[in-house]
Amino acid sequence: MKYTILLTAAALLGTAPVPAQVAPSPEVLATINGEALTLDRLLVELERIHSGMQDTERRDFDLNRLVERMINERLMIQDAQLLDFDQEPDFLEALERKAGKLAVARMLRHALPETAAVSAAEADSFYFDQFRPVRLFTLYLKDRRTADKVAARAVKTGNLEELAAKHGQDQYRYGGGDHGFKRLLDLDAGLRDQVAAMRPGEVRGPSPFKDAFRLVQLLEEKPADSTLLDFYRPKVQALLKRDRDQADRVTFMAGLRLRFPVEIHQALVDSAAIFPDSASAYSDGGLILARVGPGAITLSELRHLILRSGGASRELAQRMKAGALEGLIQEQLQIEAARADGFLEHPEVQQLTGVYADSLLIVDYLEQVVAPQVKVEDAAVDSFYQANREWYRTSGEVKYSQITVAEEDSAREVVERLAGGADFAWLAGRYSVDAYAVKGGERGWVVLETLPEELRKQMAQAAPGQILGPAPVEEGWGIFRVDGRKPGEIMDLARARGLVGNQLYQAEFHRTLDRILAELRDGADLVIHQQALEALIIGAQRGN
């Protein structure tokens, strides 16, 4: 049976003592086989780690342990390089893709800097223009000649409602074409621009819309609600800024197409099969579908993108072809520009590419060196299961009742009344807004695994009769009472084998890794510059 590697940072912390000496430079914390572990490298790693930490976790962080982990990682990287893992085609291809993405990201930050913030005055002007409610009548007709005749009649009578009910060919005809009041912003772009220039009572059209022709009459408009301006202002500012950023990007991409001509081999694109009829047909993956400057886009790349994007059927994959190809073209345009403009050589890009290369080598080392040495015998799985059968149970069941209210304050009031001795079922019938109110809130027996994680944990520990909550639920706030619990059944060995095997595999993997790291450290020329490290630790403590 194949098990999964789940490696924690603790597994990389070796315990073997190493010689220490005064650092020749405060910037060097350790040397590993002649390679310096510098303060800059440590700071990069600290920034990455701390970005996902809370303040309390940062204050308790152990720099000594981080240095030990980085030493162990460097030893694995060096051994992987001795084994030529960094020369394997898959490694080089992955590194090239990552470097390209990093270079593109750096180029875009340079070429498309943050646009200026949208002022309150601009946002207010947009709000009063685009948030005004308008009431429309529309009429959709398939035939242009009929649409022209109906339009002439509508202009003459000024009554599109009657004509829409008689001639309309869409769902609005049942209400005489009446859309009711809608914000101008919520109309489709073509209709919005048309209505914005109309006077109440005016009829315009017919104008093409999808596979039909549309007539529109503006019946009435109202001013935007000024009392909601403060609420919507920041949303409008974000919307307008996004639109500006998008417009800048469109202009930038148009410039790239001028710099790097795009040639699409349309006949090949049209005939290319995303899902060939046989496995052997996939040999055409190197077929070039488009050229972007000196670069090329292959059928294999297009297949990969479509499958990754959810094109799971032949029909859907064929429909996704054009959009997916355009996405690859835009990506290749950016890569070619980043390469031509020297962003692959940018110090930041090279540094981050190096960090990524290290992470790839560590993963390869764990998979190709450590994992093959880990063995878990069936007999060990059987023995461990027999000795610890109680650990392997199916998810238990819980019987519970729930009161659901709309507001948190109301939920806390219900909890207080329950604490004061009020009857749960009576409160559920009187205040609960869900469908179980008529049953006094009773939900019956459910499998614990089907409940949200936090609620599941609480109910697994709660005694019958205990009140839990309030907690957010889909319809508002929930207050829960545990009415009963059933423990899960002990799994038989066949069902538990995968769980037991993985548990033993993880333990054996960590033991094997510890052994390999100890061997690497024993054979290494390893020096920790204790004075530089202590100075760094003292500085960090003072900073806290």
Tell me the per-residue pLDDT of 397-449, one tens digit each, with 9 for 90 and over. 999 999 999 888 889 999 999 998 899 999 999 999 999 999 999 999 999 98
Final residue before a domain boundary, out of 223, 242, 265: 223
Q: Is residue 202 part of a domain?
A: yes
- The span from the CA of 479 to the CA of 468, in Å, is 6
Specify the higher pLDDT residue, 52 or 461: 461
Q: Is residue 286 part of a domain?
A: no
Confidence band of 22 (pLDDT split at 50, 70, 90)? very low
Helix%, strand%, coil% for the chain, nearest 5: 60, 15, 25
Q: Residue 20's pLDDT is what?
A: 41
SS3 for 338-373 is HHHCCHHHCHHHHHHHHHHHHHHHHHHHHHHHHHHH
Q: Residue 21's pLDDT is what?
A: 41
Q: Is residue 238 part of a domain?
A: no
> How far, rounded to the nearest angstrom, does the alpha carbon of residue 209 sit from its chain's CA centroid?
35
Q: Residue 144's pLDDT is what?
A: 86
Question: What is the CATH classification number for the domain harbouring 449?
Answer: 3.10.50.40
Final residue before a domain boundary, out of 455, 470, 486: 486
- The span from the CA of 518 to the CA of 145, in Å, is 86
Q: Is residue 245 part of a domain?
A: no
Confidence band of 101 (pLDDT split at 50, 70, 90)? very high
- The span from the CA of 313 to the CA of 291, in Å, is 27
Q: Is residue 415 part of a domain?
A: yes
Lowest mean pLDDT among 291-305, 332-346, 511-525: 291-305
pLDDT at 17 over 50: no
Q: Is residue 143 part of a domain?
A: yes
Domain span at residue 459?
A: 393-486
For the chain, how many structural domains are there in total?
2
Q: Residue 50's pLDDT is what?
A: 65
Final residue before a domain boundary, out of 486, 506, 524: 486
SS3 15: coil
Looking at this protein, which amino acid is placed at residue 81? Q
Q: Is residue 22 part of a domain?
A: no
Confidence band of 32 (pLDDT split at 50, 70, 90)? very high
Q: Is residue 438 part of a domain?
A: yes
Mean pLDDT over 296-325 rounds to: 84
Mean pLDDT over 265-291 rounds to: 80
Highest mean pLDDT among 62-76, 153-167, 207-221: 62-76
- The span from the CA of 9 to the CA of 16, in Å, is 17
